[in-house]
């Protein structure tokens, strides 16, 4: 019978998929990027692996040996809405330094384009 | 001017119009001394209320304003020169930096952001001017491209923090107010 090897193969593949799925068990929060007037938020990994190809969230810190560091944070949602802010506030730069690939980032900014509040959540639920 | 000679070309460009204006002003003043009463533009002499015994008005030919146009390079150099002088003046009058401020002379504002008080070197002035031109153009057009991002990002890396923030901040204000369309994704710079 030719169909028998096919059934065996299919069962093997299904078993492997189940095993892989079990290995990825755990609570995952798929927080896509959201922007609004005055702030933005999202999960770094959710943005990276989003299907739309637009989403982005993150911060860039710049500095030199001769001056204070400063930082810019930007976000783009699924509809290609962009927003961002800058800061040289040491407290905010310290908070943003915790940002990594599993982080959830929440940022508020003022009307002058300066970041005013920031929240970095670094937990298992953000790990993809 | 800190550490540099002013190019003769720029001096000439500033000096020549000044001399022309000075000569014209002197000539006008000399002619005006012949009038007993001042004349305002657009008001005929008979309506201006001449004083008794005033001499007759003379025919005065006033040349139209002359406009001196600078090439882009010269304009950028002139702007850099003026900015350098202003920055140097501000730097001389600035108080000591507060704790936590960078070595560039920047001071922290009440919200923790750096204020713009550090003078720039000649090279940084050119960089600053280049970024400023790109930002002004982008905000005016309401469009920002990935090419703009690459150029500005490369430039602002070399600027002191407070100057870099100062020069890109109009982009953020325009972006967050919905007045700037970014033709790309990710950071603007």
Q: What interface predicted TM-score (ipTM) does this complex get?
A: 0.81
Whether B172 sits inside 8 A of A70 (CB atoms) is: no
Whether A113 sits inside 8 A of B176 (CB atoms) is: yes
C-alpha of B35 from chain center: 38
- Enumerate the H helices of chain A as residue ranges: 3-23, 44-48, 90-96
Whether B187 sits inside 8 A of A62 (CB atoms) is: no
Answer with the residue of higher pLDDT: A65 or B17: A65
Whether B186 sits inside 8 A of A76 (CB atoms) is: yes
* pLDDT tops 70 at residue A11: no
Whether the pTM exceeds 0.80: the reply is no
Q: In the structure, what pLDDT confidence band is assigned to residue A53 with cuts at 50, 70 and 90?
A: very high
* pLDDT tops 80 at residue B36: no
* pLDDT tops 80 at residue A69: yes
Which residue of chain A is at minimal alpha-carbon distance from B166? A86
Which residue of chain B is at minimal alpha-carbon distance from A35? B176
Element (H, E) at B75: helix B72-93
E strands along chain B, which residues?
A: 143-145, 181-183
Are the beta carbons of A63 and B161 closer than 8 angstroms? yes
Chain B residues inside the 8 Å CB shell of A72: 168, 187-189
Q: Is A102 part of the contact surface with chain B (CB cutoff 8 Å)?
A: no
* pLDDT tops 90 at residue A78: yes
For residues B156 and B132, what is the distance between their CA atoms, to the nearest angstrom?
10
What distance in Å separates residue B80's CA from the closest CA in chain A?
Answer: 22
The per-residue pLDDT for B34 is: 43
* pLDDT tops 60 at residue B100: no
Q: Which two tokens stand for residue B69?
A: 């146009």
Q: What is the DSSP letter of B114?
A: B
Answer with the residue of higher pLDDT: A30 or A13: A30
Strands B143-145 and A115-122: what pairing?
A: unpaired
Q: In the structure, what pLDDT confidence band is assigned to residue B120 with cuts at 50, 70 and 90?
A: confident
């Amino acid at each position: 019978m030719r169909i028998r090897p096919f059934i065996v193969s299919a069962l093997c593949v299904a078993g492997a998929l189940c095993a892989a799925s079990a290995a990825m068990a755990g609570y995952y929060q798929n927080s896509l990027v959201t922007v609004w007037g005055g702030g933005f938020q999202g999960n770094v990994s959710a943005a990276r692996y989003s299907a739309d190809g637009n989403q982005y969230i993150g911060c860039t810190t710049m500095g030199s040996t001769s001056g204070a560091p400063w930082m810019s944070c930007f976000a783009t949602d699924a509809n290609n809405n962009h927003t961002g802010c800058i800061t040289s506030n040491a407290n905010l730069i310290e908070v943003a330094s915790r940002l990594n690939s599993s982080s959830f980032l929440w940022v508020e900014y003022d009307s002058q384009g300066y970041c005013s509040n920031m929240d970095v959540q670094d937990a298992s639920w953000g790990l993809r | 001017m800190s550490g540099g000679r002013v190019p003769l070309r720029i001096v000439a460009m500033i000096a020549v119009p000044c001399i022309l204006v000075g000569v014209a002003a002197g000539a006008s003043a000399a002619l005006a001394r012949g009038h007993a009463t001042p004349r305002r533009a657009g008001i005929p002499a008979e309506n201006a209320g001449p004083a008794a015994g005033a001499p007759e008005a003379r025919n005065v030919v006033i040349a139209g304003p002359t406009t001196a146009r600078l090439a882009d390079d010269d304009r950028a150099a002139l702007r850099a020169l003026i900015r350098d002088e202003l920055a140097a003046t501000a730097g001389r009058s600035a108080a000591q930096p507060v704790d936590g401020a960078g070595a560039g002379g920047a001071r922290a504002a009440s919200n923790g952001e750096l204020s713009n008080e550090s003078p720039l070197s000649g090279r940084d002035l050119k960089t600053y001017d280049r970024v400023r031109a790109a930002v002004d153009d982008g905000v005016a057009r309401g469009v920002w491209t990935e090419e703009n991002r690459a150029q500005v990002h490369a430039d602002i890396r070399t600027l002191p923090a407070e100057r870099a923030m100062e020069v890109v901040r109009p982009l953020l204000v325009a972006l967050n107010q919905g007045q700037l369309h970014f033709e790309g994704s990710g950071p603007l710079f």
